[in-house]
Amino acid sequence: MKVLVTGGSGRLGTAVVDGLLASGHEVVSVDRRAPDRHRGQWFAADLTVADEARWALAQVRPDAVVHLAAIAVPFSRPEPEILRVNAALAHHVCAAALDAGVRGVVVASSPTVVGYGAPAGWVPSYLPIDEAHPVRPWHAYGLSKLVAEQVVRMFTAQAGDRMRLSAVRPCYVIGADEWAGAPTQQGHTVRERLDDPALAAGSLFNYVDARDAADLVALLLSAADDLPNGETFFAGAADALAREPLAELLPRFHPGTAGAAAALVGDAPAFSTAQAERLLGWKPRRTWRTELR
């Protein structure tokens, strides 16, 4: 396929472009920032402008689109800007894809839609959290990603089987350079997050290797016709980013979670990827125990 990847210069975007190219797809990345590699497959565009999104899709004429472009870190910009930019990106890219006759679209969401870490308190309905768990975002980033999921459902309703869409919720993405000691997106190294549980507690110790998340994205494209249209999938590692069991850690940092956390045995994570395994045969292959250097 010819695949257009928005946000292809980012942490996850780089891994997605690498993975699709390695699988033999023709890949074009669109981003406002130039990538570190594959510059021959990249051009710049501001996809928050509807006409520019349509122009980008018309230039490439892809078979499929992977939409990753976003303000990717909560509170990294003013709240109204995060909501406006991320919601506009999701809408404009999906609308342009439909106009261009694109067959398959994958849109990046986030586990933050669940609402963990809310200042007023948060207790999960159950653990591990799956795609059916209630959502209650408490900041603009989480809300913008929930809007992106609703955009997927809106265009599913509009297009029917003319366009196959899915949403993916990647956990805290860790790239190859971060396993080697580079700072993660919040400024700490992976080892620091392991050494001080408080650093990863806010995100319920979730994480995923960028290459594993990229593999799931590729599967979502290749199996699009066989999946329920508009479905959502978690992409997470098979364990938690913690040296202690979450049954002990979560109640320490999130009061009221002890009952639900008791269901997490050993190094089990707080988020379930059973749906991706059941519908796609996807399993994460990398953990901090195999990758940290």
d(CA 268, CA 240): 6
Contacts of 262 (CB under 8 A, 6+ apart): 247
Q: Which of 116, 126, 141, 207 is catalytic?
A: 141
In DSSP notation, the chain reads -EEEEETTTSHHHHHHHHHHHHTT-EEEEE-SS--SS-GGGEE---TTSHHHHHHHHHHH--SEEEE--S--STTSS-HHHHHHHHHHHHHHHHHHHHHTT-SEEEEE--GGGG-TT-TT----SSSSB-TTS-----SHHHHHHHHHHHHHHHHHHHHGGGSEEEEEEE-SEE-HHHHTT---TTS--HHHHHH-HHHHHTTTT--EEHHHHHHHHHHHHHTGGGSPTTEEEEE--SS-SSSS-HHHHHHHHSTT-HHHHTT--TT--SB--HHHHHHH-------HHHH--
Contacts of 78 (CB under 8 A, 6+ apart): none
Block residue for tokens 């045969």: 281
Tell me if residue 141 is catalytic.
yes
Residues known to be catalytic: 141
